[in-house]
Amino acid sequence: MRLALVAVVVFLSSTASAVALDTKSPLATFEAISQRAKVAAHVRVLYQTHRLVAEGKEAGRIVTDSHCEVLEAAFGASQGDTLVITTLGGYYGNIGQKVFGLERLVPNEELAVFLDAPGYMDGGLRVTGMNLGLYRVVDAPSLETRERPIIGHGSSVFPARDDPTPLTLGDFLARAKLARSGR
Amino acid sequence: MIAFLALAAAAAMQPEFCGQTPYGTGAGQTKPFICSRAQEDGGPSLNWPSKKATFKINTKGTEDIPSESDLDAGVSANLEFTTVRQGFSTWTALSCTDFQFTDGGLTASERVGFDFRRLDENENIVIFQNSWAHDPLVIGLTTATFNSQTGEIFDADIELNDEQYDFTNKNTNVQTDLLNTVVHEVGHFLGFDHTDKPGSTLPVACASTATMSKTSTLGETQKRELATTDQLGMCFVYPTGKPIQHCNPPSTTPAPPPIIRQIGSSLEDGCAQTSPATVWPLALLAVVHMLRRRRL
């Protein structure tokens, strides 16, 4: 995610002057990503497969398809749906490929995600905003599902910059739905 | 001399403790830099098998940075190429390392990743992508292909987002500083990971001011010069006159053979079924290894 990313990610929400310097750049607020995404959902990764793209312009890339079950969706999907999230990097036998900065998904983990339309690298859905659209749901058995906190990759500045209190899964779904309705 | 002074100045930008224990390089201590790992759950650290690598720059370049014409000499210089080369040499200017980058010149190749079917066509490229296939928030991406058992890198490519960002190479009206971006990506090219990645134990004051810090703001130029943290990483892994050091050495126990299957135009790995294609990756690795040896 590979800066990965590495990847270098600009959090343009950081200062107003930064936005003024480069008018081509997108805003990276929670609401902006909500409005750009096609799907916002709470999912569980069921299993993963790795592909080596063998033909075309992207030949030579190894990608990972994470097959996920939708546990609850703010928009763009329904509970019980199966989604495929395609991310750059993975393994082809003993050959690994890494895109620096990109977060890897892990089987059995729960995520709160923003996703773009399918077809990324001839595969499934792309995480919106790369790491910014990806939150890990903290395993907290004592809490109700929607009260469980979520941790974003850029959590020190996003969404903490908008709201310094920890974001819960319920917050994520509600805010995403609200932002979507206000498009 | 200019590079040395610049690096010394950069080192002073970080707190002194960034280069001291408990972030020293002794056995059992946390290192003051972050090496990438070859496997999901750890594995050996990533590094080039020898202290040399060749890079090429895609001929397209970027229109963000105007060419400099010398009318008297009748030549035109693409200044972005000069800046990219400077980004590589920033890492090799340290006296503590004898890693050498070879400037392979320009290439028409746009291949990112490693094409196993056309082994001789693979190059380590830097390319300005004016049609960005990834998320628009990302300025640059480095993709490394490696042996997951040994951590040896055999290909690395750098993509720069020329669609969403205006690259500049001046000290005034700086927007997305090209050198700032390239020096960071070359750190990945060498196998280093983000100092502020999740789980990093580096103090925030060290991690966030390093060239290998994962984020950048518009107008930033701090990453043009290596911080203490970055320098220590380079000096540790690729030390002058000594063998390459692994942050995490490869295991002596070989992993079980992988299972591969082919679906359509993609080759798929990871599903529980056997296939004659199982031997592909191992055979390819052997060929890749032989080719690399022949070039060195």
DSSP state of B269: E
> B264-273, pLDDT tens digit by residue?
345 444 332 2
Give pLDDT, residue B238. 97
Instruction: Tell me what the pLDDT averaged over chain B comes to.
Output: 80
- The per-residue pLDDT of chain A, averaged, comes to 79
Average confidence (pLDDT) over B101-105:
97
Strand partners, B98: none
- Ranking A36-45, B22-31, B249-258 by mean pLDDT, the lowest is B22-31
In a domain, B256, yes or no: yes
Residues of B in contact with A57 (CB under 8 A): 110
A152 touches chain B (CB under 8 A): no
| pLDDT of residue A11 exceeding 60 | no
Task: Give every CB contact of residue B73 below 8 A, 6+ residues apart in sequence.
Answer: none
Contacts for B161 with CB less than 8 Å, ≥ 6 apart: B129, B132, B134, B136, B138, B139, B140, B141
Mark yes or no for CB contact B147/A50 under 8 Å: no
Domain span holding position B143: 46-267
Domain assignment present for A177? yes
A11 contacts on B by Cβ (under 8 Å): 215, 217
Per the CB < 8 A criterion, the answer to whether A10 and A28 are in contact is yes
How do residues A82-103 score in pLDDT, each as one tens digit? Answer: 999 999 999 988 899 999 988 8
Higher pLDDT, B95 or A166: B95
Residue A67 pairs in a beta bridge with: A47, A84
User: Which chain B residue's Cα is nearest to A136?
Assistant: B198
Question: Which residues of chain A lie closer than 8 angstroms to B165, CB-CB?
Answer: 22, 24-25
Give a yes or no: residue A145 inside a domain: yes
CATH of the domain at B118: 3.40.390.10
Closest to B268 (Cβ–Cβ): which among A18, A50, A100? A50
Considering chain A, what percentage of its residues have pLDDT values greater than 70? 77
Q: Cβ contact (<8 Å) for A18 and B266?
A: no
DSSP for chain A, please give it.
---BTBSEE--GGG-HHHHHH-TTSPP--HHHHHHH-SEEEEEEEEEEEEEEE-SSTTTT-EEEEEEEEEEEEEESS-TT-EEEEEEE-EEETTEEEEETTPPPP-TT-EEEEEEEEE-GGGSSEEETTGGGGEEEEP--TTS-GGGSBEEETTTTTTTTTT--SPPBHHHHHHHHHHHHHT-
**Which range, A11-25, A36-50, B192-206, has the best average confidence (pLDDT)?**
A36-50
> What range does the domain containing A165 cover?
23-181
Tell whether the model's pLDDT for residue B121 goes beyond 60: yes
DSSP B125: E
B16's torsion region: left (phi>0), alpha (psi -120 to 50) or beta?
alpha
Q: Which of A5, A25, A1 has its CA nearest to residue A14? A: A25
CA distances (Å), origin B159, targets B113, B128, B173, B181: 11, 6, 24, 10
Looking at the complex, report in whole angstroms how far the Cα of residue A64 sits from the nearest Cα belonging to chain B.
Answer: 9
Q: Which two tokens stand for residue A49?
A: 């497969």
Helix H or strand E segment including B181: helix B178-189
Q: Is residue B278 part of a domain?
A: no
> Is A97 within the bounds of a domain?
yes
Residue B218 forms part of a structural domain: yes
Residue A11 belongs to some domain of the structure: no
Q: Is residue B84 part of a domain?
A: yes
Taking CA atoms, what residue in B is nearest to A99? B143
Pairing of the two strands B125-129 and B153-161: parallel
Assess whether pLDDT exceeds 90 at residue B147: yes
Residue A18 phi, psi dihedral angles, 5° rounding: -65, -40
A61 touches chain B (CB under 8 A): yes
Tell me how many degrees the CA angle B104-B109-B115 measures, rounded to the nearest 5: 105
Give the distance from residue B137's alpha carbon to the nearest chain A alpha carbon, in angstroms.
Answer: 6
Q: In B, which residues are within 8 Å of A106 by CB distance? A: 40
Query: To 5 degrees, how large is the angle CA B105–CA B110–CA B112?
Result: 105
In a domain, B19, yes or no: no
Q: What is the pLDDT of residues A119-169, one digit of tens each?
A: 888 899 999 887 778 898 988 888 888 888 887 765 433 443 344 456 899
Which is more confidently placed, B73 or A38? A38
Most confident stretch, A29-43, B13-27, B157-171, B194-208: B157-171
Report residue B283: phi and psi, to 5°.
Answer: -65, -40
Question: What is the model's pLDDT at position B296?
Answer: 44
- pLDDT value at A8 more than 60: no
Top-confidence residue, B39 or B142: B142
Specify the DSSP class assigned to residue B151.
-
| pLDDT at residue A2 tops 50 | no
Q: How confident is the model at residue A27 (pLDDT cuts 50, 70, 90)?
A: low
Q: Is residue A154 part of a domain?
A: yes
- The percent of residues in chain A predicted with pLDDT above 90, rounded, is 43
- Predicted local distance difference test score (pLDDT) of residue A55: 82
Helix (H, G, I), strand (E, B) or coil at B134: coil
Longest C-alpha distance within chain A, in Å?
49
The answer to whether residue A15 sits within a structural domain is no
pLDDT winner (highest mean) among A166-175, B73-82, B130-139:
A166-175
- In this complex, do A25 and B149 lie within 8 Å of one another by their Cβ atoms? no
The reported pTM is 0.81
Within an 8 Å CB–CB cutoff, is residue A160 touching chain B? Answer: no
Answer yes or no: is pLDDT of B127 > 50: yes
Structural domain count of chain B: 1
pLDDT band at B174 (very low <50, low <70, confident <90, very high): very high
Q: How many CA atoms lie within 13 A of B120 on its CB side?
A: 1
Total domain count, chain A:
1
pLDDT of residue B279: 41
CA distance B181 to B141: 10
- Which residue in the set B135, B147, B269 is minimally distant from A130, CB to CB? B135
Domain containing A52 — which CATH number? 2.40.50
For testing contact with chain A, the best of B132, B215, B223 (most A CBs within 10 A)? B215
Contact B267 A3 (CB under 8 A): no
* Chain A partners within 8 Å of B113 (Cβ): 53, 58-62, 97
Q: State whether A60 and B113 contact (CB < 8 Å).
A: yes
With beta carbons less than 8 A apart as the criterion, state whether A131 and A102 touch: yes
d(CA A48, CA B42): 18
Read off the pLDDT band of B201 (50, 70, 90).
confident
Contacts of A34 (CB under 8 A, 6+ apart): A40, A114, A175, A176, A179, A180
- Compute the average pLDDT of residues B121-129: 95
Reduce the DSSP state of residue B233 to 3 states and report it. helix
